[in-house]
Structures are given as structure tokens and as C-alpha cells.
A and B are shown apart, each in its own frame.
Chain A
Amino acid sequence: MVIGGGIAGIQASLDLADKGIPVHLVEKSPSIGGRMAQLDKTFPTNDCSICILAPKMADCFGHPNINVMTYSEVKEVSGKAGDFTVKILKKSRFVDETKCTGCCECIEKCPTKVPNEWEQNLGVRRAIYIPFMQAVPRVVTIDRDVCRKLTEDKCGVCAKVCKREAIDYEMKDQEGEINVSAIVVATGYDLWDPSVAPEYGYGKYPNVFTAMEYERMINAAGPTGGHIKRRSDGEHPKKMAFIQCVGSRNPQMGHPYCCAVCCMFSVKESMLAREHYDDIESTIFYKDLRTCSKNFYEYTERARNDYGVRTINSDGTVKENPENKNPIVVYDVGGRPVEEEFDIVVLASTLIPRKDAADMAKMLGIKADEWGFYTSPDRVMNPGETNVSGIFVAGYCAGPADIPESVAQGSGVAAKAFEVLAGSER
């Protein structure tokens, strides 16, 4: 079983399935794809993220050895390596997955609009929805908390328009049990809410954004159709600031660690801005610009030299010019504070373990560090192993990692799981 359908979990599943091992891939949300599906482009090639991911999602879903269980949660795990019993709750979508073709006509007709969490609440979605265009499976889901039929027994429009009769308001959550030999945990990360730290003004000043909000804005399929817009007046910014290490490398905020990906994604985001608009100028405020994988430093140099990205070695805090709602970044030049006005500020806020990471650790009996990242007893020589034999961890839930590292870890734990399975046969 693989828990988590992001890129690490997808890779682990594919690697095992290709070796002839049946895999149950359990994903909490309605679609596999994870965080990578949410990103616009990927560094250091500026490849479209979903475009390179979507074929893998399709491979995974169509694989004869992979049973993809979306909108499902692991509830209980017992047993030991070679023989785990797992209780899984399959939440009701109120839609028959075998009938729904993903035509989305129901979505157009649904009258209930709610903030779209996929778009970081920058846009709206309906009560019946698919999280994103390339979702796998391409099946709609009814949000039981807001659907008028389910909450007030009114409406019922979606059932009327569905020509496939896929809507079933009576559908119940189902609990099932599966038996597995090994478990891969690849549950990924959450985003820290920077409004906790008032010095950045997030949530208070409208033109301060998080990096993920920015990713969705600059995505052509996102809530603004790829346009960067100020929250205060909808104008497109000409001068942008990126502030690094917001909440991270900061013991006071509880995250002394470095997230390992923010420097690169901010460099990328500043380059993308320039690709969208010739007249945008970006400045990155950083502690150390950590661009230390293949071609990363060269990429940063390209940003500086060819994209006119200014990099300033300083912390930054944010104030606001109340007249035009422009954020003002206060930073440090040779020990003196300097103030500079920008049109928008993008915060590279900390990536943290999932909020249910501790519950998951408890359920599985695996150890986590003080921040909630899953740990290996022998971190140096046996990454990916946990204190429980037969349970492995991969991707960001085991500590900061970028996409290729998560992919390698996904494949790596597949090898470890396969060793368990091959060992038990011989």
C-alpha cells in the first residue's frame, strides 16, 4: 500500500506495479497528483508542471496492478511486515465513479459557489466539482458540507442534468479492509500560514501573497487565467518583491530548518513574471540563496543576468503605504534599515508536515522529529526506512525534498518494499 498520491507516491506505486506487485494507492483528496499538480512551472527548465505530471497520473490510474483509491483515508493499521491489515474509509463522492465521464455539465449548473481551496481561495468552485482540469480520476465530487441537496434537501440540479445518472445523493461512506505486505508513506507537506507573523503583513495588507497563491495566479488554468493581479485593485504589478525564509530558518517561529525548495521556486517565479510581462521587475530578499542542485546556480545566474532579477542579501519585513496599498519592504543595507515600495510582495512561507502527520505517525507506530517529519533510525545510511519494519517513508513528509529527490525516494522505497516482498518469497 502507498499512502499519498503525490509524485513520490505515484513513483513508488509505478515502480512496484511494474515489477508485478499489486499496489493500493490511497489518496485523501479527490484526485491524485499532489502538490506538483498545483504548481505552474518547474525549475530549472521551466517545464509546465502538470504537463509532465499528467502522463504519470494517467499511467498510474490505468496500470493493471494499481488500485487507485481517491477520496479515501487510512483509518487503522495492524499487523507486521509481510502481513499488515489496513482499514480504509472510502468517503462518498455522491457520484458513481464508474458512470461519471467527467463531462462537467453538472458543475456549470450547480448554484452553490464556495472558495476554491485548490486555487488557494483566490477563485470559487461549485459544490459539485473536480479539483482541476487534469484531475485523475476525472470524476466529479459533491462537497457534502455545502451542497444544498445534502444539507437542506433543496436543489438537486446536478442529478437532473447528468445524462449518465451518475449522481447518487444516498451514497454512503464505505469502510473496507485490505491486506498488504509493505507500506509506503508519502503524504507530502502543508503550507504554513504566514499571517501568524505580523511583520510580513499577510492577511492584513491585501497585496501580500504567499508563493502558492502566486503559483496559482500565474498558472494559465488558475483563477486569474495566468494574470498577476493585485488583491487591492486588480492591477497588474510592475514591481514585485519575493521574501525568503518566511517562518523558516527561524527558531522563534518554530521552524529552524530550511525548506530546501523556496529559493529555487522564488527564482523561478521571478523569471515567470518576466516571461508574462516585459515590464515587471522582481527583487528577491534572501538569507542565503540556496541553489545547489544540478544547473540550479546557472539558472539563478540566468535570472539575474537575462531576466533582470535583483537579489538582495537581507531579511525583509513588510509595511504598507495606506494611500495606494503598496507594500513596503524594510530591509538591511550595511546594517542600516532601508525602505522600498513594491506593488506586490510574495512570501516564501515555510513548508510544514501535514497537519495530521502526528496522527498518521501514531497510527503506524513510526517516529517523527519535533516538527513532525518522519525520521529514519539510521538517517545517514538507511534513508526511507522507519523504526517499523515494512513501513517506509518518501518525499517531503520525510523532510524537505524537491521533485527529483522525491521521485528518487519514491523509487528507492519501492526497492526497499520489493526487497521485503522478494525476501518473503525466497
Chain B
Amino acid sequence: MENDKSNEELRVGVFVCHCGTNIGGFVDVPSVAEYAKTLPGVVFAMDNLYTCAEDGLAAIKNAIKEHKLNRVVVASCTPRTHAPLFQATVEEAGLNKYLFTFVNIREHCSWVHMKEKEKATEKARDLVRMGVARVKLLSPQEEPRIPVEKSALVIGGGVAGMTAAHSLAKMGFPVHLVEKEKELGGFVRNLNNLYVTTKDATETIMPLIEKVKSHPNIKVYLNSKVSNVHGFIGNFDVKIKPNDKDEEVEHKVGSIIVATGAIEYTKEALYGYNVYKNVVTLTEFEIMCKNKTLPKVKNVAFIQCAGSRGQDVSYCSRICCNVAIKNAINIVDNYDNLLGIAEQTGKAVEEVPVEPKAPTEVLERRRRRSSRGRGREDEEVAEEVKRGPGERIEVTIFNRDIMSYGIAHELYFNKAREKRVRFVRYKPDRRPEVIMDGDKLMIKYFHETLAVEREMPVDLVILSTPLIAQPDAEDISRLLKVPCGQDGFFLEAHVKLRPVDFATDGVFVCGTARGPADITESIEQAEAAASRAATPLAAGYVQAEAIMAHVDQEICSGCGTCIDVCPYGAITKNEEGLAEVVAAACKGCGCCGASCPENAISMTNYTDEQLMAEALAALKEAI
């Protein structure tokens, strides 16, 4: 590449823009153009009122032809918005677009030095001189198109993975869906119902499971794991291994979606978990509801943020408040149904002592007051009354903040309050305590409003513990060279604008593998991931960057530093143990070049030679 220019006489053209008065009002533009003419190698220079307007662009094209320019410098606004335009223009005139350099004299001169026209002009001259020094050393580049394998791998057969696979299949792309368990469905299979519907959760997702199983474009691998991944966007070689066999299946895929889900956190002795009977987690409770094995109870308490929000893990698990509210409503509305089979199978626990029945007027007063919908009033009134047999179940939710965000969740929260579910707030420095008083399970808590310690008997304590990352998330992270965050969940490329992308091209993430999310959010993310994953498959190729890293194999010692620092997983070791850049994955960021202890890595058109030339040009006047 470097040789292309050696025999050619350098003929640089410089175009300096007034941008109306935007630059022209604060920089002596004509004098900058005149100055450019004096620089070695410059055979043509002019100033334009608007370089980006049609006449300005035509002037560039004419000058390239008329003066046989083989290098072009435009000094104007920002490359961010205008580089593609000028690059296209020089290309129309038959010049490789990498033989063009942008100099920003608007942001760097006129805008920041508005009150110092002379100095702004001097700086513009310096920048133009640097640009000319640089452009002379540039070499023409191509952006190779790399063909793409038009199929995808989805890891995880829960709702997110199935949705992503089904979406891709509907678009016409073959999908390999890998699930480590023996059936599809994931976490939702544990659940009783999904909020907003009272339908059985597994029943709700059954149509999706059936569609995935029967779609001709989807191949489902149950009881299997992804054992190996090699390659880059558009060209991944993956190996799928059944859990019980050694023989692996090999496939080539263009995109990979990680939808491996999450698990529920548990800890011995957390609020008496696994110490006292009838202390269960939210999911264990759902399983009990689903299997109709609930014990017979009168008082149920949920403890929110059990283990989360700074107790054991730092984060908020997002979904537990709404799941607790859903279950609280289920208990109040539908307890006998949940209990039914349990009584038949004799699994119900012994009844708790019967309390004297509350006088009717107290109940009536309580109903009136609570219908006003303020949780705090509920809570105080509920203290006054004692229940008798055949009455409703009392449900208390100990919470810090109720995360019923949005429309449906908030309306559910209101519904729970209307149904006289008690919400008792606690602070992290005074958490409720689950204790055993003789053979009676009790909750000791601090009543914030009344500022007193209280105790209440409970028959069942449900701990809203957070979702945590899958234990094998780290293995997948290593396999795919994608990062996990401090919380253990997979870390997306950008928190705001790239929620389902990884920094590594061609690999995407969705669902609870990315962090706590409810089913609808997981589905939204899964469809988003399907869209992102489909983009290279639909295009049929990926356009590699021309500006990329090159490893000098003669100098490389194979230390692997560059592999560790590369944010895009674009460097691998070849058979000789030396670093090799994957063109399709490299973004030309330069991290590897900066970190290489042997100085073996250089960037296209940002070589040391080119950068030094520019830097020396900056100092030239000063010297």
C-alpha cells in the first residue's frame, strides 16, 4: 500500500470554506487559502463561500481534473457531518476517498476564538499546514465487503430466546436454538400466572413454544450447550454439544443472540430462609401456587428487596414488586383455588390458632377508610382488627419503594391497595426481622409512621429476592468475547442507544441475561435483538472498515496484550501464537496499537510516520 504513492508526484489541493460568516466572519479565510498555496506539495488552493453547496462541490471536482490533484484537503466545519459528502465528491472525480483530509476550522477556530480574529486565522493556518503534511502521506484504501452466512444462533430457549428465534425465522433466516434444559420455556415455566392475565403462565407461552418447535427455519437443540465459538460477524463457526454426548454439531452462522436468562437469588438464613419452615422465595411461592401445594395460612408477608438494593447485591431487581403485588392479589382473590388440591393431597400445614372475630363495625370502618386508597391508612386500621376462620387472608408487603412503573403495574398496585393488601415501608437500616416465637413464626418490624417496634404473626413469609446472572454467564462471556458488568449480567454496548448490541459486532443480547426484566420487556428486547441480528443477514455482506489495525508479524511477540484490550474481540492468535486482526471486526480504534509493548501494531492511515509528520508540521512555525 505504502508503495502506491512512491512514483507519483504529489499534487495537493486545498479548499478553505467561509461557511457564510460562520467561519469567514472570524477567520481571514482568503489569507488562509493564500497561505496554503505556499506549502510544499500544494498546487492549488481556493476559498469558497460554501464548500458544501453545489457550486463548492463542483469547484472541488473541477480542480481535481484541471490541476490533476491527487490529494485533497478541505478546511471547513466538522467531519462528523460533512466528511462523507466531501469523500463522495472526490470519489466522483476519480480520486480514492482516503486521499482526502478534513481540517475543522469552524469548531477549532472561528467558534472558540470568536473575539480573536488574528489568532483564529493563525490557528487555521497551522491546522491547514498539519492537514497538508498528513494528506501527503496517506495511501488509497479499499473497504472490503465480506460475505455473510445467512443464519443465526440463539443461545437460550426461554421466552426471549424463542421470540428472537421465531422473529428471525419469520424473516426467512435459518436459526439454531440451543437450550441447556430438556424443554423450552425457561424461567416462565416456574410461574403460576403472568400479571394482567390470570391464565397459567406456561399456557400463555405454549403457542410460542409450538410455533418455535414447528417452524421449518428453526432447529431446536434441547439438553445442549454451545461448546465453542470462533470467528467474527457474518462468519462464526459454532459447535453445539448435547449434555449427555460427546459428539458435537458444527454450524456456520452470521449472527449470535445471547438469551440465557437469569436465576433467582437465595441465601441460607436470609430472613430465616431454609431455617424456618414457611419462609420461601417468590419463585418458590409461584411454584407452590402452580402445583397447588400452598399451606393453609391466614397471614402472609412479602419482604421486598430481600438481598437486593445494597443488602447483598447492589441493584434493584425491577420486577419483584410487581410480581409480589400480582401474588398478593392472587392470594386475596383466589386463595381457596390455589389451596384446593393441596388440601386434597394433605400437604397443607397445620392451621394456625384462630383469632377472635372482629366486630362488624370495625370491618366496615376499615373497608370505608381503605377504599380511599391510601396505603398508610390501611396499614393502621389493619392493626386494629383480628380475623376469624373463613375470612380473607391478610397480606402484608414490607417494602422500600414500590416499583410499579408505567401504566399496568401502577394500576395493579392501586388494585392491591383497594383489596386491602397492606404496604409497610421499611428503611435499610431497620429491616424487618423474621423470628420464631416458640412455634410461631413472627415478623418484627419498625412502624415508620408510628415510630414504634411492632410484631405480627405470620404463617408464610415470601422473600422477594433478586434475579441474578446465570452461573455460566461468565463461560459464555469468555466463549463469545463479550463482557459482563459488575452485577454479573451481560453488558450492552451502550446503556442508552445500543441496549441489545454488544460492542462485538454480530453478537446481541436480550431478556434477563441483560438484567432483570419482565416478560413483555424481554420480548421487546428479543425482537430488537432479532432486528439487529438480521441486519447483516439481510444485507448479505458486511463492509469492513478500511481504517484498521495491522500487526507486523516480524515484531509481534505474541504477548496477547492487544487481545485483552480490544473492545471488539477483533484480534486472535494465529497458529504461530502471534496476533492477527480480523478485518471484519476491527473498528480501527487504535487501542491495540497504543498498548502493544513491541510497537508491532499500526493503524491504516494513522501510522506513526503520518502522525509524526502532522505533529512536526504543527511545531514548524514555532521552531
Q: Which residues of A are interface residues toward B (Cβ below 8 A)?
A: 7, 11, 15, 18-20, 42, 44-45, 47, 52-56, 58, 62, 99, 101, 103-105, 138, 163-164, 249, 251, 256-258, 260, 286, 288-298, 301, 313, 334-335, 369, 371, 373, 379-384, 399-401, 403-405, 407-416, 418-419, 422-423, 426
Contact = CB atoms under 8 A, between A and B. Distances in A.
B496 A403 contact: yes
27 contacts: A11-B497, A15-B535, A19-B534, A20-B538, A45-B496, A47-B496, A251-B414, A257-B410, A257-B411, A258-B410, A260-B406, A290-B401, A290-B404, A292-B321, A292-B516, A294-B487, A296-B316, A334-B450, A335-B449, A380-B204, A381-B520, A400-B405, A400-B406, A400-B407, A403-B496, A403-B497, A412-B523
B531 interface: yes
A174 B525 CA distance: 38
A423 B53 CA distance: 42
Interface of B: 19-22, 49-50, 52-53, 80-81, 84, 167, 170-172, 194, 196-197, 204-205, 207-208, 309-310, 314-318, 321, 401-411, 414, 425, 448-451, 485, 487, 489, 494-500, 514-516, 519-521, 523-532, 534-535, 538-539
Contacts of B314: 297-298, 301
A404 B525 CA distance: 10
A399 B407 contact: yes
Given A379-B520, A426-B172, A289 B408 contact: no
A20 B196 contact: no
A15 B496 contact: no
Instruction: Give the one of B53, B205, B531 with max A CB within 10 A.
Output: B531
Contacts of A18: 535, 538-539
Contact of B84 (A62, A99, A105, A296): A62
Contacts of B494: 52
Contacts of A298: 314-315
Instruction: Give the one of B317, B409, B496, B538 with max A CB within 10 A.
Output: B496
B532 A19 contact: no
Given A52-B496, A381-B523, A415 B315 contact: no
Contact of A407 (B172, B407, B425, B497): B497
Given A103-B22, A380-B194, A380-B520, A292 B534 contact: no
Nearest to B510: A408
A404 B172 CA distance: 27
B405 A292 contact: yes
Contact of B53 (A101, A373, A401): A101
Contacts of B498: 407
A44 B486 CA distance: 15
Given A58-B81, A405-B521, A423-B170, A411 B527 contact: yes
A297 B539 contact: no
B497 A415 contact: no
Given A334-B449, A380-B520, A409 B528 contact: yes
Nearest to B23: A103
Given A292-B403, A379-B520, A400-B406, A101 B495 contact: no
Given A101-B19, A407-B499, A380 B409 contact: no
B171 A422 contact: yes
Contact of B316 (A42, A56, A292): A292
Contacts of A295: 315, 485, 487, 495
Given A45-B495, A379-B196, A412 B524 contact: yes
Contact of B406 (A257, A289, A384, A403): A257
Nearest to A382: B523
B189 to A, nearest CB: 15
A380 B196 contact: yes
Contacts of A418: 171, 531, 534, 538
A345 B410 CA distance: 26
B611 to A, nearest CB: 24
Given A289-B401, A380-B520, A297 B528 contact: no
B506 to A, nearest CB: 13
Contact of A408 (B50, B411, B524): B524
Contacts of A313: 425
Contact of B495 (A163, A335, A404, A408): A404
Contacts of B317: 292
Nearest to A293: B318
Nearest to A296: B316
A260 B499 contact: no
